[in-house]
A = this chain, B = another copy of it.
Amino acid sequence: MITSRDQVTDMIIATKVRKGLKWAHAAEAIGMSKEWTTAGCLGQMTFDKAQAEALGKLFELPDEAIAWLQIVPYKGSLPTAVPTDPLIYRWYELVNVYGTTIKELIHEEFGDGIMSAIDFSMDIQREPDHKGDRVNVVLSGKFLPYKSY
């Protein structure tokens, strides 16, 4: 009996390690970006039927797990409010150090509102650099103005 999406995530990861798969394989299997696909496989996004079945095949999942992939999950991928993993912490640190800067500049440009984390996409790329390669990330979110009424 599968009682939560976390169990499906565990199955996917276990198979991925055992078979030496890459997330790119999963993305290819369903024809979506590697960013969105990975988030979905890690239990943060919802797949449609065809996508779930393709992933089920790739990761050798039982039918019950394939059904769970089509259910909107309880999101949030980190075990603690302040992440302990150094790679993820650096992102938390960016929010901590640059948070008010981001706020000021977006408000200066757009007025009161937010940058959507829902109508949102992310693209992670390697940028070769002779002083050491760089991680380049493009975040794109719709600006949503606060409604006054």
Contacts and interface: CB of A to CB of B under 8 A. Distances in A.
B135 A147 contact: no
B134 A140 contact: yes
Nearest to A103: B87
Interface string A25-59: 00000001111101100101110000000000000
Interface residues of A, number: 102
Contacts of A104: 23, 38, 42
A109 B107 CA distance: 33
Interface of A: 1-4, 10-11, 13-14, 17-18, 20, 22-24, 32-36, 38-39, 42, 44-46, 64, 67-68, 71-72, 74-122, 124, 126-127, 129, 131-149
8 smallest beta-carbon distances between A and B, as pairs: A76-B84, A3-B10, A115-B135, A72-B107, A46-B112, A77-B100, A90-B117, A39-B101
20 contacts: A38-B104, A38-B105, A39-B101, A42-B100, A45-B112, A72-B103, A77-B97, A77-B98, A78-B100, A81-B82, A86-B114, A89-B89, A91-B94, A109-B126, A118-B147, A126-B143, A127-B140, A134-B140, A136-B138, A144-B144
